[in-house]
Amino acid sequence: MQFPVKDSILKRKSVRTFNGNPLSETDKSLINKFIENVPNPFGVPVAFKLLNAVEYSVSSPVVLGADHFLVAKVQRMENYEIALGYSFETACLYAVSLGLGTVILGGSLSRAAFEKALDVRENEALPVASPVGYTAKERSIRETLMRKGVKADRRLPFEKLFFDSSFEIDLTKEKAGDFAEALEMVRIAPSAVNMQPWRAVVSGKTVHFYEKKSIKDSSIGDVQKVDMGIAFAHFDLTMQENDHKGLFVFSDPGLSMPANTHYIVSYNLVS
């Protein structure tokens, strides 16, 4: 990716309060160019569009002062949620690298208007959207209360999310080796109501990823799999920026898992 990944991840904050200034033509052009092709490692095409909020009558009751929204649709096929999450977070991180604010929203959208704007068909889904704009100097009272409610600035410690060889042994950053920084970027990733559904078991040169499910599926699919895709973007793009090569593979190792935990995918480090 042609932007500083780790720096963008560390700078990223969920922004719902914008200063009201319209998105500049330069920033619109850069984003539109970037979203022409945002790949993901799961072979699922994701179609993006940058929408003028007034022109397309799109909005969110939790967003103030943003005049554009980034949105994407995907065909309902195997792995579509994780592919959408990966590609969408990649686009959001690029926007952050331009100095823009974003927040990935699922439930609090004028969904019918968004789906009309992208001509979403019966076999397609539009799980999320994000405002894109210039962050206000101060958060609104509503946003401040929302962040407190979901404890947005808190994350589970590394050792509670990642494990060594099995779910019985906590993983330390020292033992994580080449995966340590990428897993830390997973740890700080955004997720629906900050549930942090990702779990990972490191075994040699392989990381097995799991979903800790706590939110029921909806009409748009498994929203926590979208969160998993966001985490995979953080992980994979960090590994690439650290000059490592690897592949995502679907190869369940058959480990004993905690309750409500499901295998998703593995990452094999090649070099």
Per-residue model confidence as pLDDT tens digits over 17-46: 999 999 999 999 999 999 999 999 999 999
Question: Residue 253 — pLDDT band, cuts 50, 70, 90?
Answer: very high
The residue with tokens 């560390």 is 10
Summarised one tens digit per residue, pLDDT across range 163-212 is: 999 999 999 999 999 999 999 999 999 999 999 999 999 999 999 999 99
The residue with tokens 């779990």 is 199
Find out whether 164 and 115 touch, Cβ atoms under 8 Å. no
Question: Residue 101 — pLDDT band, cuts 50, 70, 90?
Answer: very high
Q: How many CB atoms lie within 10 A of CB 19?
A: 14
Q: What is the mean pLDDT of residues 249-267?
A: 98
pLDDT at 144 over 90: no
80-97 and 223-241 helices cross at what angle (nearest 10)? 50
| Cα-to-chain-centroid distance, residue 47 | 16
Question: Which pLDDT score is estimated for 142?
Answer: 66
| Cα-to-chain-centroid distance, residue 161 | 17
**CA pair distance 84, 75, nearest whole angstrom:** 10
Amino acid identity, position 172: T
Question: Which pLDDT score is estimated for 152?
Answer: 56
Q: What is the mean pLDDT of residues 212-224?
A: 93
Find out whether 62 and 146 touch, Cβ atoms under 8 Å. yes
DSSP element (H, E) containing 10 = helix 5-11
Question: Which pLDDT score is estimated for 148?
Answer: 66
**CA pair distance 250, 260, nearest whole angstrom:** 19
Q: Give the CB-side neighbour count of residue 207, counting CA atoms within 13 A.
A: 28
DSSP 16-27: -BB--PPPPHHH
Find out whether 99 and 159 touch, Cβ atoms under 8 Å. no
| Residues paired with residue 64 on neighbouring β-strands, in sequence order | 17
